[in-house]
Amino acid sequence: MSLWLCFRLPQLPLECLPHRQEYPAVVLEHQRVAVANDAALAAGIKPGQSSSTVRALLDSPDLQLLERDRVQEAGALEQLACWAYSFTPTLERWQENGLQLEIGRCLKLYNGLERLVENAQTDLLQRGFTHRIGLASNRYAAELLSYGEDDGLHGVGQNLQERLAGIPLAILHRARGGEFSKALTSLENAGIQTLGELLRMPSSALGHRCGPAFQKWLKAIVATHDTVTHDFQPPHKFHDCLWFGFEIHNQAELHPGMQQLLQALTRFSRATQLQTTCIEWQMLRLHGVAETFEVRSSEAHNDPQRWFELSHLSLEKRNLGTDIEGLALHANHFNSQQATMTDLFGESHSREPLHNLIDRLRSRLGLQAVNQIALREAHLPEFSQYLTQGTAKLALPCKGQAQRPIWLFDEPNPVRLEGDVLHWNGPLKILLGPERLEDNWWLKPTSRDYYVAETEAGQPVWLFQDRYNKQWYIQGIMP
């Protein structure tokens, strides 16, 4: 049996717009009140009133009159759908201000219904969204139950029609947005006040009075099963934002918001099995241009603590501007999640991975301040290494090439030959060799015989003889 959880967001038109929470705020649509916050409601403002009535009731410079933005509302619902994808893949946006989640198959993962609902409600409250919930075997009933005075979970084990029986017909008006207003008004005039009374009417009389479309909707409300044709497909980009409702005065005030958004990114990454090497922060203003900075990692991952440490280091280098009241996080380039290898006995946890150190240095000093040595396909040693700011992919050593220096000179250093003895900071003693390397036959032919030698102080070095000019050179220092 399916189980649908409805999250209805009655304050969405207001809560998706930046505003000051402590002052009265009203969202207008066609010069009529769509939504108002508690401070405005306390002053007597009600949905449906005109803008002139609002100004008459609240003649205050603190009054915030906002124009409804349906694009912002749709964007907020899209962000919430990506958030809800971490709970279940079967979900959809519902009406203009809600989400429907099919959670019947996910209860075991969250150790039961109460734990899942508690986690979801906590997340929504942290995001600043007022919400009502309803739970039923189909989406229509779940939405209707979200209008009740209880928490929408009351009587979950009871018969669905019993749970719906007390719902006033006025709620059906609101739920359908006026679609069946004529039929519902007719029923109310006939003395029908609740959904229970309506369901007890003979179907023939109901069909004659209200029509087949209304009857079909009533059957859907009491259905014990409801499905959608396909699962939700999240985008391959992440965007989320938080409005604080007050001005940020120091960087420490941003940290809780950054951690919350990074947790959302982690949930999105794990649900989609994607990872990223770059995130972008935007410090938002009510009016004016946002301040933006990027944070990069040398490897793709979805660890919120690592991203927070790097973001914290990057933020320390910046001067916090004025009028910052919101924070947004973007990640536009994702890679498929790669399996990571860990030490069987846990020894790797006792030391910090090299890429973590590199990321921290770059976050503090800047991207161009730290380079890595990488290898390229080339026979001649001086052309086989290069510096890069990106991730260095070192080649595995080939068989027979174990005798290689740990430090190559920028250019080979000449070696003096006195008699039969080579001199470089003292006499050299050849230990191994030769190994012949040849290259550049198409441009300037090069042929060398390489040896491992030892200095007078016992330091192994790597030297070669040029087979064309018969000169000796030191190429690098051996380990």
* pLDDT per position as a tens digit, 166-210: 899 888 888 776 778 888 888 888 889 999 999 888 888 888 888
The single-letter DSSP state of residue 350 is G
Q: Crossing angle of helices 203-210/181-189, nearest 10°?
A: 120
CA quadruple 39, 45, 46, 51: dihedral positive or negative? negative
Across the range 376-392, mean pLDDT stands at: 75
Looking at residue 75, its pLDDT comes to 92
Looking at residue 474, its pLDDT comes to 95
Looking at residue 81, its pLDDT comes to 93
Q: Crossing angle of helices 304-316/354-365, nearest 10°?
A: 30
- Reduce the DSSP state of residue 274 to 3 states and report it: strand
What separation in angstroms does the CA of 382 have from each of 109, 147, 454, 475? 56, 74, 21, 8
**pLDDT above 70 for 152:** no
47-51, 315-319, 429-433: which has the minimum mean pLDDT? Answer: 315-319
- Reduce the DSSP state of residue 118 to 3 states and report it: helix
Residue 428, Ramachandran bin (φ over 0: left; ψ between -120 and 50: alpha; else beta): beta
d(CA 399, CA 276): 35
Return the percentage of the chain with pLDDT > 70, whole number: 92
**pLDDT above 90 for 414:** yes
Looking at residue 176, its pLDDT comes to 73
| pLDDT tier at 367, thresholds 50, 70, 90 | low
Looking at residue 421, its pLDDT comes to 93
Return the percentage of the chain with pLDDT > 90, whole number: 52
d(CA 27, CA 35): 5
Asked whether 448 and 465 are in contact (CB, 8 A), the reply is yes
**pLDDT above 70 for 2:** yes
4-16+69-221 belongs to which CATH class? alpha beta
Q: Which CATH superfamily is domain 238-336 in?
A: DNA polymerase, Y-family, little finger domain (3.30.1490.100)
Looking at residue 341, its pLDDT comes to 54
The most confident of 66-70, 82-86, 387-391, 416-420, by mean pLDDT: 66-70
Q: Rounded to the nearest 5°, which phi and psi values hold at 332?
A: -105, -15
d(CA 13, CA 312): 32
Query: What's the token pair of residue 329?
Result: 């996080």
The single-letter DSSP state of residue 289 is P
Which residue ranges make up each domain of the chain? 4-16+69-221, 238-336, 407-477
d(CA 430, CA 231): 70
| pLDDT tier at 346, thresholds 50, 70, 90 | low
Asked whether 5 and 115 are in contact (CB, 8 A), the reply is no
Looking at residue 207, its pLDDT comes to 80
134-138, 212-216, 473-477: which has the minimum mean pLDDT? Answer: 212-216
Asked whether 187 and 170 are in contact (CB, 8 A), the reply is no
**pLDDT above 80 for 400:** no
| pLDDT tier at 339, thresholds 50, 70, 90 | low
Judging by DSSP bridges, how do beta strands 4-8 and 98-102 pair with one another? antiparallel
d(CA 135, CA 120): 13
Query: What's the token pair of residue 111?
Result: 């150790």
Average pLDDT of the chain is 87
38-42, 154-158, 308-312, 388-392: which has the minimum mean pLDDT? Answer: 388-392
Looking at residue 461, its pLDDT comes to 94
Judging by DSSP bridges, how do beta strands 91-94 and 372-375 pair with one another? unpaired
Total Cβ atoms within 10 A of residue 224: 12
**pLDDT above 70 for 325:** yes
